[in-house]
Amino acid sequence: MKKSLIILAFGFCLVVLFSCKKKDSSTSVSSLGSYSFTPSDLAILPYPTYDTLIFKSTEQDSILYTFRGRSSAMKTFFEHPGNPVGYQGNYYSCEENSSGFISQNSDYLIFNLHYSDPFLGNAGKKYFNIGVMISSLESCSFFAQFRFEPDTLLSYLPNTSFTSGGYVKAFYYALTIGPRLYENVYELVGPSSTSYCPAFIDRVYYSFNQGIVGFSLNTGKKWFLLPAKVPPPVNAVTPRPYLPVYPASYWIYKTGDVTTVSSASNSYVNFKGLTLTTLDGQPINQYEGFVSYGTYEAGWVPVLSETLGATWEMILGNPNTNPNTRVFRVMQKTVDSRIDSVIILKSFVYHKAPLYTNSLQVWQTFKKNVGLVFECMVDTAVNDTIYKKILIDYHINH
């Protein structure tokens, strides 16, 4: 029964999305008013800002949704709707605004803004339906309804058993889903499917600026929205190929049993008169990074070079109190087993006074159009590898 209800609900949204209902042309009835959405209302649904939406999961599979259109129609609510062929009484006209996406596998994202029936005592109240359907889950998908105002999404629980409606569980100014950081995100819960679904979508994450930015299963699997391309502003410092820190790019590494994420800033930022991006918070000026220790600023220091044999140093603290310096050298510029261009960098630390060299060496491999793909530390005194850091996934947003 519940499966049928959900299918009917999605069917209703699709009908709204791709068709318009004609208003009764009878002259024997009168309009009692009209409700239409303002531009501020419509801004809650940012589509069709994007032609496609790509969601990647924490298990590495992805879904590509294609935009199927956005429509607006005026729905008529009659005073006596139960008399379809006779006198139906006066009426209100209320706007419905819908949008939808579909994948090649018939996965759906469906959105509908609408008003409630004014004759039921809720005149002017606005509602937002969100549907996320993954074909492999069939009826165990997400369908929820919320009340909304121009800048706020509100819970809507029409009954105590929560068999319909929607619940706003939390609002986050900053939320990390997988490797990506999103801002101003609602965590949304739909009516429970636990009684008949072993796996179902239990959360949807929604932003007014980007729409759905992620969703998750009750099993823990999550999907997150890959970013749209960010065009560089005029005179921006754009990344170079071996360090492609384009806005909203990320790199996922494995060190033993530990997984870490490096990420570029979500947009170009202004820093000391330059417009550039950051990598893990450090401003990047092509192959240079800005180095500072508290109030002491070392300035722009090379992070990488494409010149074979290039050597440079980077102090490891305020030189008045810290005598340690790291020395870098480009050891190779070659191709790997896949014929991809790589640069191999070696670095070590030496102590200035008294002068001695640390036995630890760090080796790094940077791949063209990818960035850092491998790093290891070797103790040359005992010829032992201390750790290895390996790239396991990435997204270059370019």
pLDDT in tens, 273-331: 999 999 999 999 999 999 999 899 999 999 999 999 999 999 999 988 888 999 999 99
Q: Return phi, psi of residue 3, to 5°.
A: -60, -45
Residue recorded with tokens 């044999």? 309
Q: What is the DSSP letter of 264?
A: B
The amino acid present at 226, given as its one-letter code, is L
Residues 6+ apart with CB under 8 A from 351: 323, 324, 357, 358
Give residue 392's pLDDT band: very low, low, confident or very high (50, 70, 90).
Answer: very high
Provide the CB-side half-sphere exposure for 214 (13 A, CA).
Answer: 27
CB 264 within 8 A of CB 250: yes
pLDDT at 120: 87
Q: What is the token pair recorded at 316?
A: 């490891």
pTM listed for this prediction: 0.82
Q: pLDDT tens digit string along 370-384?
A: 999 999 999 999 999
Residue 150 has a pLDDT of 86
**Residue boundaries of the structural domains of the chain:** 2-225, 250-395
Query: In this prediction, what percent of the chain has a pLDDT beyond 90?
Result: 71
Q: For the segment 7-50, what is each residue's pLDDT rounded down to a tens digit?
A: 434 444 444 443 333 344 445 678 899 999 999 999 999 988 77
DSSP 8-state assignment for residue 42 = H
Which residue, 227, 224, 230, 298, is CA-closest to 269? 230
Beta sheet of 384-395, edge-to-edge order:
258-263, 250-255, 384-395, 371-379, 356-367, 341-351, 324-335, 311-315
Mean pLDDT, the chain, integer:
89
- The total of other beta-carbon atoms located within 10 Å of residue 395's CB is 19
Query: Cβ atoms within 10 A of the Cβ of 339, count?
Result: 6
Q: Summarize pLDDT for 131-178 with one digit per residue, the tens.
A: 999 988 767 889 999 999 988 999 999 888 888 899 999 999 999 998
Instruction: For residue 251, give the nearest of 361, 370, 114 by alpha carbon.
Output: 370
Question: What is the sign of the dihedral through the CA atoms of 195, 197, 198 and 202?
Answer: negative
Task: Select the more confidently predicted residue: 21 or 123.
Answer: 123
Lowest mean pLDDT among 79-93, 136-150, 162-176, 230-244: 79-93
More confident residue, 219 or 285: 285
pLDDT of residue 3 exceeding 50: no
The token duo for 94 is 């209320």
**pLDDT level of residue 199 (50, 70, 90 thresholds):** confident
